[in-house]
Amino acid sequence: MNNLKVYLLIITLIPAMGLTSVTVPLMTKPSLAQTENLQIEELDKLIEQALRKSQQGQPLESIETLRQALEMARQFNDKKLEATVLVGIGFNYANIGQPQKALDYYNQALPISQEISDRAGVATTLNGIGAVYHSIGQPQKALDYYNQALSISREISDRFGEVTILSNLALSYQTQGNMAQAIQFYQQAIELKESIQSEIQVEEFNASFSRQQEDNYERLIKLLWDQGDFQAALNYVERTKARAFLNQLANSRIDFRAGADHKLLEQEQALKTEIITLRQHLITLRNRPRNQWDTDTIAKTENQLASREKDDQDLLLQIKIQNPETANLITVDVASLSEIKELIDTDTTLVEYFVTEKRTLAFIITKNSFQTVTLNATREQLTEEIIRFRELADIDKIHPLELQNLHDWLIKPLQPYLNTTKIAIVPHSILHYLPFAALTDGNRYLNDDYALFTLPSASILRYLPEKRKPKTNSLLAIGDARVPGLFPLNFAQQEVQTIAKLFNTQPLLGENATETRFWSKAPQSEILHLAVHCEYNTNTPQFSAIRLAGDTENDGRLEIHEIYGLDLTKTTNLVVLSGCQTNIGKLSQGDELVGFNRAFIYAGTPTVIASLWNVDDATTGKLMERFYTHWQAGMSKAEALQQAQIEVRKDYPHPYFWAGFSLIGDGGR
């Protein structure tokens, strides 16, 4: 396997085993140097397939593939690989609740690793055995095996393995009711994990590694909460939220392509050309009448496109790894409670949520106070209500029952502490998809009484002031970019023309709304207003795109990974994404929501306004016109959006029409 694949496998393959996590050893093949290349390649593919199947929740398929790899390893007489594959099979059996079969394979692997003095293999196998005993209710046996594994991992400085073993020890003590020991071991695991994370300098790897340890954070946060140590619980909540993004903001901007190997850049360009060709072919296929669609060819082309996009994503990572400036990137600590208090305005209350399986935790912070409330809302309940509302089954009910229930769960218990005019909300998990402005007690909506804005984490507050620039009232308004295969946005033209008049400028419309013009004009504009199509790529979120018109220089796809290279540090104070679902991203367990809003904040703007669903074209135009009018008149951005939503609501009362946009980042003037 090449080095990039090795690194990816190290940090991505730590799925659940029983009730906790185990580290599956990297399946390297040090003794295969003299075998035939074709055999090596075949074994490579088998192992990689098994790892991916395990990651994707297909343990039985992974076992079958590993059996083939095991046969080949024995043919090559590669003892280390044989033991590693045996552990992989055992791991998968444990993962599907067959502990005896898991123990059988672990016990085959253990003497082999001991015979060849593979101490890392011994530690991994002992840890796996411990996890099996934990899963079948024999905690003391589990502790014995974990402690043996921990001792070896520390002796050989296997920090990845040590993190997992510490986590397993913590869970074992927690299961036995020894909460003090559990807290201690969870803290040790997290400290070590974050130490490793600080050395993973590429943000994509950083986020991926962080996601694997999220169970530790949640368990520790709940234990600290139950012990009444709320300040420590808040610290770990912040440490689990948007850490890769926080580290991005803390570092100076890097052009990762500068000085990159020219061969890699040539490969990247060739891949991009192939991707563009495949996309154009898909458009042609889909533009045919439905009854003439060649579904097999469409599916084949879609699969080819997804594969090439994944290759391009891997290549981007490789380019970043090789950039010498990558080694100089820093990792920062989250903001303390006292720092968060200092960063909050006197007229703002910050509410930070943390959703767990059986309850939701709320931290309420003002300039001079800190309160906590346990909310009786489970993850499942919140998910069901939010999804049910977003289905918009009954557009006639202007105070939907789902939003009333969510208000009762998330807001009503906090109301004694909500005594300011503005609320900064730090959502978590499914709450990223909730329009907080539309939460209602059945008579009044939340934004009747408060101007709202959201933040990825409270710690982001320390980086927003430096992104604010003097007002220039310069506007770049782009609307209804003509893109082959996408329907026209007729109301978008009217929207941007109306807004452009407020700023005495001309919008870019239709064929003139090109990506090339965007790149040239955006850095000199205080406001970027984009009323265009957006599309979200669920397989590779970094390739989600804002759709502009193409020309000879650019293809018209302004993709998320490209936005990270945009320089908005000199003039830009606001980006408005008046397209469909621009605030929607891929929500991972680690709360790293990959979306347009974070990309634009990284690029330099302090504020993004984006949509939570496919918004109504006609009402969006009115909402935006009222927002800009109030902002120009001196309101803060959060207050201007609040007032615009209230005014649109008078004519279009259902939240679908007025609550679809949220403000992310700086809500001030």
Q: What is the DSSP secondary-structure string of 335-349?
A: PPHHHHHHHS-TTEE
| Confidence bin at 527 (pLDDT 50/70/90) | very high
What are the distances in angstroms from CA 584 to CA 37, 131, 547, 602? 45, 37, 16, 17
Name the residue among 4, 3, 593, 595 with its Cα closest to residue 314. Answer: 4
**Whole-number Å distance between alpha carbons of 544 and 529:** 18
What are the distances in angstroms from CA 348 to CA 29, 227, 377? 58, 29, 25
CB distance 22 to 165 below 8 Å: no
- For 141-165, what is the HEC assignment? HHHHHHHHHHHHHHHCCCHHHHHHH
What is the C-alpha radius of gyration for the chain, rounded to an integer number of angstroms?
Answer: 27
**pLDDT value of residue 311:** 84
Q: Per-residue pLDDT tens for 581-632?
A: 554 544 544 444 557 888 899 899 999 999 888 888 789 999 999 999 999 9
**pLDDT value of residue 659:** 94
Distance of CA 38 to the CA centre of its chain: 38
CB distance 568 to 523 below 8 Å: yes
Residues 6+ apart with CB under 8 A from 108: 86
Name the residue among 575, 584, 596, 662 with its Cα closest to residue 623. Answer: 662
Structure tokens at 346: 């006197």
Kindly tell me if the per-residue pLDDT of 304 is higher than 70. yes
Q: Per-residue pLDDT tens for 7-65?
A: 333 333 333 333 333 333 333 334 444 444 556 677 778 888 888 888 788 889 999 99
What are the distances in angstroms from CA 56 to CA 33, 274, 308? 31, 27, 19
**Whole-number Å distance between alpha carbons of 11 and 21:** 13
Q: Per-residue pLDDT tens for 125-184?
A: 999 999 999 999 999 999 999 999 999 999 999 988 999 999 999 999 999 999 999 999
Kindly tell me if the per-residue pLDDT of 208 is higher than 90. no
Task: Name the more confident of 5 and 445.
Answer: 445
**pLDDT value of residue 547:** 92
**pLDDT value of residue 473:** 92
**pLDDT value of residue 312:** 82
Structure tokens at 86: 């045996």
**pLDDT value of residue 31:** 42
Check residue 285 and report its DSSP letter. H
Kindly tell me if the per-residue pLDDT of 4 is higher than 60. no
CB distance 545 to 537 below 8 Å: yes
What are the distances in angstroms from CA 57 to CA 47, 130, 211? 16, 22, 16
Calculate the dihedral angle through the C-alpha atoms of 102, 103, 104, 108, rounding to the nearest 10 degrees. Answer: 110
Other beta carbons less than 10 A from residue 448's beta carbon: 14
Q: What share of the chain is helix, strand, coil (3-state, %, to 5)?
A: 55, 10, 30
**Whole-number Å distance between alpha carbons of 152 and 498:** 69
Task: Tell me the residue type at 221.
Answer: I
Structure tokens at 95: 């993962």
Name the residue among 524, 605, 607 with its Cα closest to residue 564. Answer: 605
Check residue 23 and report its DSSP letter. P
Calculate the dihedral angle through the C-alpha atoms of 437, 652, 656, 498, rounding to the nearest 10 degrees. Answer: -90
* Largest Cα span, the chain: 79
Task: Name the more confident of 106 and 613.
Answer: 106
**Whole-number Å distance between alpha carbons of 447 and 363:** 20
User: What is the SS3 assignment for 558?
Assistant: strand
Name the residue among 655, 659, 664 with its Cα closest to residue 595. Answer: 664
**Whole-number Å distance between alpha carbons of 550 and 545:** 13
Task: Name the more confident of 349 and 213.
Answer: 349
CB distance 476 to 548 below 8 Å: no
Task: Tell me the residue type at 7.
Answer: Y
**Whole-number Å distance between alpha carbons of 178 and 95:** 26
Structure tokens at 129: 């055995």
Calculate the dihedral angle through the C-alpha atoms of 579, 583, 586, 590, rounding to the nearest 10 degrees. Answer: 170
* Global pTM value: 0.84
Q: Per-residue pLDDT tens for 394-418?
A: 788 999 999 999 999 999 999 999 9
Other beta carbons less than 10 A from residue 28's beta carbon: 14
- Mean predicted confidence (pLDDT) in 303-309: 86
- Torsion sign (Cα): 121, 123, 124, 129: positive
Q: What percent of the chain has pLDDT over 90?
A: 58
First-to-final CA distance of the chain: 53
CB distance 131 to 99 below 8 Å: no
- Mean predicted confidence (pLDDT) in 462-481: 93
**pLDDT value of residue 361:** 98
Residues 6+ apart with CB under 8 A from 448: 646
CB distance 343 to 461 below 8 Å: yes
Residue pointed to by tokens 């090789």? 322
**pLDDT value of residue 22:** 35
User: What is the SS3 assignment for 125?
Assistant: helix
CB distance 354 to 378 below 8 Å: no
Strands 475-479 and 534-535: unpaired
Whole-number average pLDDT of the chain: 85
